[in-house]
């Protein structure tokens, strides 16, 4: 089996901000595997700058090594536990290689019997930019909205939540907040208490990862359910994953296959979470349509994915995205092949 690697730069339609970074473009790598019979499959390797710890000065050297020895690494993914985006790329390339039809899993989603519910998304920016996104969302019948916060004045963010709740109550609109670890431990309790009146569904990663004792106390004392995301990065063994979730005991975990261990890693996170009574959902890590297609097909195997909005509505972020195998309508993702 041979492999070929091609770099591709995706251009955003706007400045996509989080509390960590501002993105105008991002690089991904397309991994093509093929054999002597003309069969091939293309996968996506898309580490996220500022979030994926593997994305450093030696990353491209590792990519070359894996590409040169692709047959070996396809059979030894355990050796790539510190490179989740490469695992994701190998997995998605292998699925595409095995399934020339483009259907990796036969599910209600891929057989077009059901669609996947998707949360709407409000990107961080100045007050006017965020409110303009909210206005556009309110014109549609979204059931769940996620706001990335922690980057502008907190009082302004409270204004945005008041504005949202003026039009939609918790009975008709679920609000998820993503702080990306922006709150300092000294201020987090006060800020979370001020968010309680807005009937928030969950708050993702209120403080930076690596402060499990503080996070556990937040989970114990906060009236708003806490979700972990960045906290899961770099935790690669079953024992450590189980210990982390048992110790902090969040209400939810938010899973990104290309960051949290590839699909094999995410499946282990789900297995542990179910044992501990923790719920989960999946989001993209700003992959292209190629990666999004694989994530959507994979998650559609789980019955709960049809009842709980997933974070897979990022396919329209880029000016030069790859061809899509799905389309978004009224915040439902439909398979199209």
Catalytic residues: 148, 256
If one counts every other C-beta atom within 10 angstroms of the C-beta of residue 234, the result is 18
Distance, CA of 115 to CA of 330 (rounded, Å) = 11
Helix (H) or strand (E) holding 29: strand 22-34
Please name which of 186, 129, 185, 196 lies closest in space to residue 161, comparing C-alpha atoms. 196
91 to each of 79, 97, 122, how far by Cα in Å?
14, 10, 30
Distance, CA of 228 to CA of 215 (rounded, Å) = 9
Helix (H, G, I), strand (E, B) or coil at 274: helix
Q: In the sheet that 116-117 helps form, which strands lie side by side, from edge to edge? A: 116-117, 332-335, 326-329
State both tokens at 220: 């114990």
């Amino acid at each position: 089996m041979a492999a070929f690697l091609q770099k591709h730069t995706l251009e955003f339609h706007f400045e996509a901000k989080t509390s960590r970074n501002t993105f105008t473009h991002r690089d991904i790598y397309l991994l093509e595997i093929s054999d002597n019979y003309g069969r091939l499959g293309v996968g996506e390797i898309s580490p996220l700058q500022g979030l994926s710890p593997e994305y450093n000065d030696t990353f491209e050297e590792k990519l070359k090594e894996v590409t040169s020895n692709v047959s070996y690494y396809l059979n030894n993914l355990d050796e790539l536990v510190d490179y989740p985006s490469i695992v994701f790329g190998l997995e998605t390339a292998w699925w595409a290689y095995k399934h020339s039809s483009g259907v990796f899993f036969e599910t209600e989603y891929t057989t077009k019997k059901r669609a996947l519910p998707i949360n709407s998304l409000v990107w961080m920016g100045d007050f006017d930019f965020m409110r303009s996104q909210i206005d556009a969302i309110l014109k549609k019948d979204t059931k769940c909205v996620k706001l990335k916060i922690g980057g502008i004045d907190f009082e302004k963010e409270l204004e945005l939540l008041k504005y949202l709740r003026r039009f939609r109550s918790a009975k008709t609109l679920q609000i998820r907040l993503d702080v990306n670890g922006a709150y300092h431990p000294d201020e987090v309790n006060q800020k979370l208490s001020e968010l309680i009146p807005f009937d928030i569904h969950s708050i993702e990663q209120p403080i930076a990862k690596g402060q499990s004792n503080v996070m556990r106390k937040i989970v114990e004392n906060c009236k708003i359910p806490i979700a972990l995301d960045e906290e899961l990065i770099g935790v690669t063994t079953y024992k450590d994953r189980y210990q982390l979730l048992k110790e902090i005991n969040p209400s939810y975990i938010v899973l990104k296959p290309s960051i949290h261990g590839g699909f094999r890693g995410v499946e282990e996170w789900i297995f542990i979470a179910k044992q501990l009574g923790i719920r989960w959902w999946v989001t993209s890590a700003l992959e292209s349509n190629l990666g999004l297609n694989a994530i959507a097909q994979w998650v559609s195997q789980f019955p709960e994915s049809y009842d709980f909005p997933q974070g897979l509505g990022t396919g329209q972020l880029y000016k030069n995205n790859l061809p899509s195998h799905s389309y978004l309508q009224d915040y439902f993702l439909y398979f199209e092949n």
